[in-house]
């Protein structure tokens, strides 16, 4: 179990000595220290790295439409996620169903993520944008020897194109969800790549900080864009030539062959 998960459960224990789940009606947005919303905390830990509720598709689909699903159907779909998140009791599944179909789902999840963020901040060094950039680009090697993010992903003008562009990731995920997704990615390629060389909790915090600030990411200069522009123009020119060749009148071609 990762340090983030340990910190999350430590926060739950400290904040709720009795360890009892509170009803959604008893949870107040202005009070994030006297109640623990177990379902929302579990969602932040297990689900937020792949799904949003109203924020658009990530690795998995946006779960907002499930608010209108029949409860048995939603429970069955949640059960299918056990290979990814681990075994769940029927009570846990029912808690997720009730969370996703509550009119205050987003608010409850936001509060849970704020609690998790505070727990992580208490156990790790402060997030560093500059260190996150160095880790992303490979200037600082990942502690367990994994490949740099920029090998496959782009952030601003830096990086590869094998994986999704992460420049706008912050618009769909909060820092806590982003940290979880970085450290416990569900992308099949990345899961295999980092299985034996996992990204540490501290590295994930730094990377999430960097990816949350696209305005500070490198931008392409005209010199950087020139080769790409030249190649694009070359391809366009070739397509134009091919198109003109195909549109030549066939009768003129026949006359040419007849006089040959």
What pairs with residue 158 in β-bridges?
Answer: 155
35 has pLDDT over 80: no
C-alpha 88, offset from chain centre? 23
pLDDT value of position 55: 86
pLDDT value of position 164: 87
pLDDT value of position 6: 42
The angle, 0 to 180 degrees and rounded to 10, between the axes of the packed helices 3-15 and 105-123 is 110
Q: Could you report the per-residue pLDDT of 177-236, keeping only the tens digit for each?
A: 788 778 876 555 676 778 889 999 899 999 999 999 999 999 875 445 444 444 444 544
The model's pTM: 0.56
Structure tokens belonging to residue 193: 């790549």
Q: How much is the average pLDDT of 17-35?
A: 41
What pairs with residue 254 in β-bridges?
Answer: none
What dihedral do alpha carbons 253, 255, 259, 260 form, nearest 10°?
10
pLDDT band, very low/low/confident/very high, at 246 (cuts 50, 70, 90): low
Q: How far is CA 48 from each of CA 44, 105, 122, 200, rounded to the nearest angstrom? A: 5, 12, 21, 18
Q: How confident is the prediction for the chain on average, in pLDDT? A: 77
Residues in the chain: 260
218 or 25: which leads in pLDDT? 218
Q: Could you report the per-residue pLDDT of 121-158, keeping only the tens digit for each?
A: 788 999 999 999 999 999 999 999 999 999 999 999 99
Q: How much is the average pLDDT of 106-114?
A: 90
């Amino acid at each position: 179990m990762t340090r983030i998960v340990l910190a999350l459960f430590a926060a739950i224990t400290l904040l709720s000595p009795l360890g009892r789940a509170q009803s959604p009606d008893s949870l107040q947005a202005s009070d994030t220290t006297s109640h623990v919303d177990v379902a929302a905390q579990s969602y932040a830990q297990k689900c937020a790295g792949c799904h949003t509720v109203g924020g658009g598709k990530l690795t998995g689909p946006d779960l907002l439409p499930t608010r209108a699903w029949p409860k048995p159907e939603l429970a069955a779909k949640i059960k299918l996620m056990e290979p990814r998140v681990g075994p769940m009791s029927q009570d846990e599944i029912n808690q997720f169903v009730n969370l996703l179909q509550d009119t205050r789902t987003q608010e409850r999840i936001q509060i849970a993520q704020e609690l998790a963020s505070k727990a992580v901040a208490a156990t790790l060094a402060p997030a560093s944008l500059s260190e996150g950039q160095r880790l992303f680009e490979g200037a600082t090697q990942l502690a367990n020897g994994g490949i740099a993010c920029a090998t496959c992903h782009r952030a601003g003008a830096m990086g590869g194109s094998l994986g999704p562009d992460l420049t706008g990731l912050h618009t769909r995920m909060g820092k806590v969800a982003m940290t979880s997704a970085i450290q416990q990615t569900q992308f099949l390629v990345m899961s295999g790549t980092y299985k034996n060389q996992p990204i540490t909790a501290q590295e994930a915090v730094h990377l999430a900080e960097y990816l949350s600030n696209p305005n500070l990411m490198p931008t392409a200069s005209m010199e950087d864009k020139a080769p790409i522009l030249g190649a694009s123009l070359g391809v366009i020119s070739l397509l134009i030539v091919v198109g003109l060749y195909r549109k030549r009148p066939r009768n003129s071609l026949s006359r040419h062959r007849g006089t040959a």
